[in-house]
Copies of this chain bind each other. A is one copy, B any other.
Amino acid sequence: MTNDTIPAARIDVAPEEACPITPVVGIVFSRWTTPILWVLNEYGRHRFVELERRIATITPKVLTERLRQLERDGLVVRTYHPEVPPRVEYEISELGRSLAPLFASLAGWSINLGKVEQARLDYDAREPVRGRRT
């Protein structure tokens, strides 16, 4: 505990981000990951096509990519059943499940979506006044 530990340093924070949660956001909230994790968490194990249908607007290619990434990050578990026809199942991992309270929090914040919508209307209503001074 001598003073040869980090010398207070500049407050410039990390070189990368001024924000400690950025890495988590990158992992958990990159495109399509939330619908996938939500579905797996909420409705349990799914086959590929089931996910595809459940999410509907995702293409198989992108679904594959995202599932790979989630599997790699340890948030999703992939199980291959060597049958004919082949069957693959995806389920949320324990690590993935640990995100549940977070998701619940997020869902809870949804009650504020109306305020956001209203803020947008207000903003758009007074913004045509070009120049945006004041």
Contacts and interface: CB of A to CB of B under 8 A. Distances in A.
Interface residues of A, number: 55
A61 interface: no
A16 B119 contact: no
Interface in A53-111: 53-57, 71-75, 80, 82, 95, 98-99, 101-103, 105-107, 109-110
Interface string A1-44: 00000000000110111111111110111000011001100000
Contacts of A15: 56-57
Contacts of A82: 133-134
A103 B106 CA distance: 10
Given A73-B119, A95-B119, A109-B102, A134 B18 contact: no
Nearest to A38: B19
Contact of A35 (B18, B55, B73, B112): B18
A113 interface: yes
Sorted from nearest, which 5 A-B pairs have the closest CB atoms? A74-B119, A19-B35, A19-B38, A29-B29, A21-B106
30 contacts: A15-B56, A17-B55, A18-B38, A18-B54, A19-B34, A19-B38, A19-B39, A20-B38, A20-B107, A21-B106, A21-B107, A21-B110, A22-B34, A23-B110, A24-B106, A24-B109, A24-B110, A24-B113, A25-B106, A27-B116, A72-B120, A72-B123, A74-B115, A74-B118, A74-B123, A80-B133, A80-B134, A102-B102, A102-B105, A102-B109
